[in-house]
C-alpha cells in the first residue's frame, strides 16, 4: 500500500509538471484528488490493515495528498501568470507607430442634389414639409382628385399594404396633408422632399424606390406666370444662368392645366446633341395649376384661392447634372461611384 501511494504521488506530480494549461491541470486534480480517484480508493482498503499500521498509512496518505495539492497550487499560479503575460504581449500597443488616417465620408450625390434644391427654395421663402411614407389611400389618391377606379391610378402601380394603406407613390400626399392643416387659409408655400415607391421593374431609368421633390404654392392671385418664373429661377440655379425653360401641355389629375417642363440643353446650348436627343430641350419636371377639386377637398375656397404645384425627380436632375447613365448607381452604394462626388 505504501508503494502504491508513493507511485500515485509520483505519477500525479509528473502529470502536473506536464499540464500546459489550466484546463489540463484541473483534469489532473479531478483524476487524483476527486472522490472517485485512486487515493480515495487506497484509503478504502485501510480496513484490512492492522491497528498499528493504520495511523502510519493514514499519515502517509495525507502527506501524499498534501504534496499533490501543493504542487497543483504552485503550477496553477505559474500558469495564471503565464496567461497574463501572454495577454499583455498580444495586446501590446506600439505607441510609436504612425496613426491610421481617418477616411472622411461624404454626402451621397442624391442628398447633395436634394439639399441644393431645398436651399434654393428656402431662399425663395418656402418651408420644408414632410409626411409618412406609409400613406392612406385617401391622401395618396382621393384627396388629389384620383377617386377609386380613376384610370389615372394605373399610371402609378402601387404597393398596397391593405386596401386603404399603401406605400406612397408620390410626395403629393404631403401637399394634401399640409393644405388640410391650413384649414382653408393661405398662403401655403412648401416643398416636400422624400422617398416614394412604385411597382416597377428596376432598369437604367426605373427604380421601385426613388425620391421626389414636390412644390406647392396656394394663395390669392397665384398665376401660371408665377409658376413659370419660379421654375425659370430653379433651372438657372441647377443648370446654369443661360438656361431657358418651356412648357408643353400635359395631363395630371391634380393640376389643371398641366404642363411638362423642359430646360434648354446645358450640353449644347440648344443646338442639338445626344444629351437632348437632338431637340435642344430636356424634360425635367411636371407641373400645373392646382385643380379646383384638390383645393376644395382640402377646405380651400377655389374661387378665392389658386395655386401651382410641381414635382421633380432628384435622381433625374442628378443624372443630368453629373452625367450619370444608370439610376441604379444611386442605390448600390458602390464606393467607386460614390467617391467621385467627394468634395476636394
Ligand atoms: Zn443638347
Digit-coded pLDDT (tens) for 77-93? 998 998 898 888 888 88
Same domain for 118 and 35: no
Residue 98 lies in a domain: no
Q: Residue with C-alpha cell 421633390?
A: 213
Same domain for 328 and 230: yes
Distance (angstroms) between ligand 1 centre and the Cα of 133 equals 36
Q: At what angle do helices 224-239 and 109-123 cross, to 10 degrees?
A: 130
Same domain for 218 and 86: no
Residue 101 lies in a domain: no
Same domain for 245 and 183: yes
| 164's grid cell | 386603404
Residue 268 Cα distances to 265, 273, 277, angstroms:
6, 6, 11
Q: Where are the alpha helices (DSSP H) in the chain?
A: 2-18, 22-33, 38-44, 53-90, 109-123, 137-140, 172-182, 224-239, 292-297, 314-322, 335-338
Q: Where are the alpha helices (DSSP H) in 134-270?
A: 137-140, 172-182, 224-239
**The domain boundary residue, chosen from 90, 120, 144:** 90
Residue-averaged pLDDT of the chain: 89
Residue 22 lies in a domain: yes
Same domain for 274 and 142: yes
> What is the pLDDT averaged over residues 258-275?
89
CB crowding 296-332: b at 16 or more within 10 Å, else e: ebbebebeebbbbbbbbbbbbbbbbbeebeebebbee
Secondary structure of residue 267 in the 3-state scheme? coil
CATH of the domain at 125: 3.30.930.10
Res 342 pLDDT > 80: no
Distance (angstroms) between ligand 1 centre and the Cα of 239 equals 13
Res 47 pLDDT > 60: yes
Distance (angstroms) between ligand 1 centre and the Cα of 327 equals 20
Judge whether 318 and 330 are in contact, CB under 8 Å.
Answer: yes
Same domain for 312 and 165: yes
> What is the pLDDT averaged over residues 106-131?
93
> What is the pLDDT averaged over residues 110-121?
93
Same domain for 146 and 9: no
Digit-coded pLDDT (tens) for 122-150? 999 999 999 999 999 999 999 988 888 88
Please state, in angstroms and rounded to a whole number, the distance separating the CA atoms of residues 265 and 245: 10
Residue 97 lies in a domain: no
> What is the pLDDT averaged over residues 178-192?
92
Res 157 pLDDT > 70: yes
Query: Helix, strand, coil proportions of the chain in percent (round to 5)?
Result: 45, 20, 35
Q: Confidence class of residue 99 from pLDDT cuts 50, 70 and 90?
A: confident
Res 44 pLDDT > 90: no
Q: Is 256 annotated among the ligand-binding residues?
A: yes
Residue 73 lies in a domain: yes
Res 190 pLDDT > 50: yes
Please state, in angstroms and rounded to a whole number, the distance separating the CA atoms of residues 124 and 233: 10
pLDDT at residue 62 in the model? 84
Distance (angstroms) between ligand 1 centre and the Cα of 40 equals 98
Domain tally, the chain: 2
Same domain for 53 and 165: no
> What is the pLDDT averaged over residues 184-208?
90
Distance (angstroms) between ligand 1 centre and the Cα of 282 equals 8
Distance (angstroms) between ligand 1 centre and the Cα of 276 equals 4
Digit-coded pLDDT (tens) for 300-324? 999 999 999 999 999 999 988 888 8
Secondary structure of residue 130 in the 3-state scheme? coil
Distance (angstroms) between ligand 1 centre and the Cα of 286 equals 20
Residue 42 lies in a domain: yes
Same domain for 258 and 210: yes
Same domain for 264 and 237: yes
What's the full length of the chain, in residues?
344
Residue 90 Cα distances to 23, 76, 83, 212, angstroms:
21, 21, 11, 53
Res 43 pLDDT > 80: no
Q: Residue with C-alpha cell 389658386?
A: 306
Distance (angstroms) between ligand 1 centre and the Cα of 322 equals 15
Same domain for 309 and 235: yes
Domain that holds residue 21: 2-90
Distance (angstroms) between ligand 1 centre and the Cα of 342 equals 27
pLDDT at residue 267 in the model? 84
pLDDT at residue 13 in the model? 86
Q: Confidence class of residue 155 from pLDDT cuts 50, 70 and 90?
A: low
> What is the pLDDT averaged over residues 273-295?
92
Same domain for 35 and 136: no
Residue 59 lies in a domain: yes
Distance (angstroms) between ligand 1 centre and the Cα of 324 equals 16
Half-sphere exposure of 172 (CA within 13 A, CB side): 30
Res 344 pLDDT > 50: no
pLDDT at residue 241 in the model? 92
Res 256 pLDDT > 70: yes
pLDDT at residue 30 in the model? 86
Residue 230 lies in a domain: yes
pLDDT at residue 343 in the model? 65
Amino acid at each position: 500500500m505504501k508503494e502504491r501511494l508513493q507511485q500515485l504521488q509520483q505519477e500525479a506530480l509528473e502529470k502536473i509538471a506536464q499540464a500546459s494549461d489550466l484546463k489540463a491541470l484541473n483534469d489532473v486534480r479531478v483524476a487524483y484528488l476527486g472522490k472517485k480517484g485512486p487515493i480515495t480508493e487506497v484509503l478504502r482498503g485501510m480496513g484490512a490493515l492492522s491497528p498499528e499500521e493504520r495511523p502510519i498509512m493514514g499519515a502517509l496518505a495525507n502527506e501524499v495528498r498534501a504534496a499533490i495539492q501543493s504542487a497543483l497550487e504552485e503550477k496553477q499560479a505559474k500558469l495564471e501568470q503565464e496567461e497574463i503575460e501572454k495577454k499583455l504581449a498580444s495586446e501590446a500597443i506600439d505607441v510609436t507607430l504612425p496613426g491610421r488616417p481617418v477616411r472622411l465620408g461624404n454626402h451621397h450625390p442624391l442628398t447633395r442634389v436634394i439639399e441644393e434644391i431645398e436651399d434654393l427654395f428656402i431662399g425663395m421663402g418656402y418651408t420644408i414639409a414632410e409626411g409618412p411614407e406609409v400613406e392612406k389611400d385617401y391622401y395618396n389618391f382621393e384627396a388629389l382628385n384620383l377617386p377609386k377606379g380613376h384610370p389615372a391610378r394605373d399610371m402609378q402601380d402601387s404597393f398596397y399594404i391593405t386596401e386603404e394603406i399603401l406605400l406612397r407613390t408620390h410626395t403629393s400626399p404631403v401637399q394634401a396633408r399640409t393644405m388640410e392643416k391650413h384649414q382653408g387659409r393661405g398662403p401655403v408655400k412648401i416643398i416636400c422632399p422624400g422617398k416614394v415607391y412604385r411597382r416597377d421593374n428596376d432598369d437604367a431609368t426605373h427604380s421601385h424606390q426613388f425620391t421626389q421633390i414636390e412644390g406647392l404654392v396656394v394663395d390669392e392671385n397665384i398665376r401660371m406666370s408665377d409658376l413659370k418664373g419660379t421654375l425659370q429661377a430653379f433651372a438657372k440655379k441647377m443648370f446654369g444662368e443661360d438656361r431657358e425653360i418651356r412648357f408643353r401641355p400635359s395631363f395630371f389629375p391634380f393640376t389643371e392645366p398641366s404642363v411638362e417642363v423642359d430646360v434648354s440643353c446645358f450640353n449644347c446650348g440648344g443646338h442639338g446633341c445626344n444629351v437632348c436627343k437632338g431637340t435642344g430641350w430636356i424634360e425635367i419636371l411636371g407641373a400645373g395649376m392646382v385643380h379646383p377639386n384638390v383645393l376644395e377637398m382640402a377646405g380651400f375656397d377655389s374661387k378665392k384661392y389658386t395655386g401651382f404645384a410641381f414635382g421633380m425627380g432628384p435622381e433625374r436632375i442628378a443624372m443630368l447634372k453629373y452625367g450619370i447613365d444608370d439610376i441604379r448607381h444611386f442605390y448600390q452604394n458602390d464606393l467607386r461611384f460614390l467617391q467621385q462626388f467627394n468634395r476636394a
